[in-house]
Amino acid sequence: MIALTLAEIAAATGGTLRLDGTDATSDTVIAGASHTDSREVAAGDVFFAKPGEFTDGHLFVPQAVEAGAALLVVERPQQAAVPQLVVADTVDALGALAHEVVERVRASGVLKIVGVTGSNGKTTTKNLLRAILERVGPTIAPRASFNNEVGAPLTMLEVTDETRFLVAEMGASGIGEIARLIRLATPDIGVVLKVGLAHAGGFGGIEATQRAKSEMVTDLPSSAVAVLNADDPRVAAMAALTPARVVWFGMGTDAAVHASDIHVSADGTSFTLHLASGESRAMHFRVLGEHHVMNALAAAAVAEEWGVGIDDIVSALESVRLAERWRMEVMGGRDGVTIINDAYNASPDSMSAALKTLAQIAAPGQRTIAVLGEMSELGEFAGEEHDRIGLLAVRLGISQMVVVGQEARRLHISTINEGSWDGESAIVDDADAAYDLLEGLIGPGDLVLVKSSNSAGLRHLGDRLGGRYS
């Protein structure tokens, strides 16, 4: 974070500064990192005591103080000999401070901001942008999936006077959440990747999801750029909602940034990248799955807008081996067994893409095993979407299904009904039971996909299988 006095932080957040029992004054300068987790606090940092669903950050104030916190942002005064800023809402205060920091750095004229949203692909695209942009100048991008009302401002607070690029991943589970993040740090470029059924239960349907994702571009100034997916009709419709200049990416030649000559294999995807300038390069993208090519195109479109040359774009994209931990992560190797751990999260779109990748990269005669868990947060759409994925697995010719958890039972039932299988689909109650079953099921040369929503916990099953066959 940039250096600010306690008085400046109090003014930015609207809080009341309490200095009783400390040696600090209102002119004391704070320049440490900001945290909502006391375990991450180091000397000189700011600790936001955020109330949570299951616990309350105020309970961990002693740990934060012991770790060396220089400022506590709290909703009620604490017994601690550390400067305290008492605010009405710590999350609102976190956002307000992030906005202040971003605006101060932006005033220098160097900082550029890209916001990324979409039902799928946000984290991958964010990581690809970081890989490209950090070759040009100091770049800040979120850790993991820091993309909500807490994670996004924590990332924004990492900006310093030297930062040239801020990549802001902006997720949402309801209307208005992206708009809130946009107000904290209005992007110079806003990217919308896809509108799908991820979190549909919270949004209330695909139309509401489209409205929420469109918040990325509706409030952009005319000087900004909206980078939109030409292949998704719901995203393409957003061009009529934004005053910003539109740059299209997609698989077709009608998109300014597009791909051709696509070939998918177990080693990644080879394709020719075409930029809006007319330049093109053949490249090999090692992030597994053809669906990730769209994320690479979006990142390339942003980079080209900011003057990054095609050689740097291609070199950076080719250097990325893994989208993110637990996202199409290739493991195993012993006895020719390959484990693909893609169980960080799952939506109907990402589940379909993962199954299609499993089928695409399998060698002739190679057995494919799909270990699938629940797709959460689908609300009223859950049943039919699980049915659809079960049908898809059969139609793709997946050799064996292992369904984990009764919440995903309709995957198992629809698979049996569609395929009239005899044992090619099995259902177990939990990840431990799945591991026990798979120990006797997986044979030499098998290709295994593990995929579920985060709540199902199958990413740890994927790790166990990857370790067993490493």
What is the distance between the alpha carbons of residues 319 and 328, in angstroms, rounded to a whole number? 16
* pLDDT at residue 34 in the model: 96
The average pLDDT across 106-112 equals: 93
The average pLDDT across 426-453 equals: 96
pLDDT tens figures, 377-410: 888 889 999 999 999 999 999 999 999 999 999 9
pLDDT tens figures, 53-106: 888 999 999 999 999 999 999 999 999 999 999 999 999 999 999 999 999 999
What is the distance between the alpha carbons of residues 45 and 34, in angstroms, rounded to a whole number? 6
What is the distance between the alpha carbons of residues 180 and 196, in angstroms, rounded to a whole number? 21
* pLDDT at residue 129 in the model: 98
The average pLDDT across 433-448 equals: 97
* pLDDT at residue 244 in the model: 98
* pLDDT at residue 380 in the model: 87
* pLDDT at residue 199 in the model: 57
On the question of pLDDT at 303 being above 90, the answer is yes
What is the distance between the alpha carbons of residues 358 and 381, in angstroms, rounded to a whole number? 25
Neighbours of 282 (CB within 10 A): 11
Annotated binding site for ATP: 118-124
Q: Where are the domains of the chain?
A: 4-90, 108-319, 329-468
What is the distance between the alpha carbons of residues 271 and 355, in angstroms, rounded to a whole number? 21
Lowest average pLDDT, out of 75-89, 304-318, 369-383, 437-451, goes to 369-383
Superfamily of domain 108-319: Mur-like, catalytic domain (3.40.1190.10)
On the question of pLDDT at 200 being above 70, the answer is no
- CATH says 329-468 is which class? alpha beta
**Mean pLDDT, the chain, as a whole number?**
94
- CATH says 4-90 is which class? alpha beta
Annotated binding site: 118-124
